[in-house]
Amino acid sequence: MLNLLISFIKLHVIRKPRIQNQIAVITGFSPGNIGLYMCALTHKSLSGTARSGNTFNNERLEFLGDAILSAVIADHLFSEYPDCNEGFLTKMRSRMVSRHKLNAIAIKMGFDRIINLPGKAISTKKHIYGNALEAFIGAIYLDKGFSRSKQFIIEKILGNYLDLDQLVDEDSDFKSRIIQWGQKNKKQVSFENQELTGDGTPQPVFLAKIHITDLLAGEGTGATKKEAQQHAARQALENLPS
């Protein structure tokens, strides 16, 4: 109990001026209700339970920030890719807000230097910093409103740490995905390439076939071998058992 009291005093008195400056650097604006941000940066292991049953930690703010982040990302993707279907948008959003990616972004933003933890023994594999980033978004929402929290997400997170074109390319690399599937499931994946001729077209057309353990799994055509293989790999992935 005494340790919790000491941590509470350090959090609210000693660290307050430094935290205000660090928050301003991360967000680009001065915080209003500093207590919200300090709560967002407090791991549950350091929280003190009040008589009402509430705790001073970032779990509730994380819940709120997660919803806001997801909504802003969904809105952004909906506007950026008007011709893409729901499946593509869902995959892109999931990739952008994955636990691993958010944790990496939070560390790059400096959350590992300002979050209040009981010690250095806690592993980053638990995504503590990513959770704090989501809680931080929840704090911005409560302090400054939805417009400012959206601005923070678009400018500070998407603008600096998420490359949409790269994420699309990752999603479109069907050949790598089918090879990884084969390695994971201990299945031999092989490619067969053929140049189609005799149709009178000035540009060559390539045919690619994918075999999984000697069975034809997919085929596709394209202006290059790479394009044909991607089309064949996509068909093979669609034919895989779910």
Tell me if 9 sits within 8 A of 56, measured CB to CB.
Answer: no
The Cα–Cα gap between 201 and 212 comes to 32
Sheet of 205-212, strands arranged across: 189-196, 205-212, 215-222
Q: CA of 15: how far to CAs of 12, 109, 113, 161, in Å?
A: 6, 19, 12, 28
Q: Of 62, 66, 143, 219, which is the active-site residue?
A: 66
Tell me if 217 sits within 8 A of 241, measured CB to CB.
Answer: no
**Going along 81-228, which residue ranges are E strands?**
189-196, 205-212, 215-222
Give catalytic status of residue 66 as yes or no. Answer: yes
Q: Which residues pair with 206 in a beta bridge?
A: 195, 222
Give the 3-state secondary structure percentages of the chain, helix then strand then coil, rounded to 5: 65, 10, 25
The Cα–Cα gap between 42 and 116 comes to 5
Tell me if 210 sits within 8 A of 230, measured CB to CB.
Answer: no
Give catalytic status of residue 134 as yes or no. Answer: yes
Q: Of 59, 75, 80, 134, which is the active-site residue?
A: 134
* Catalytic machinery residues: 66, 134
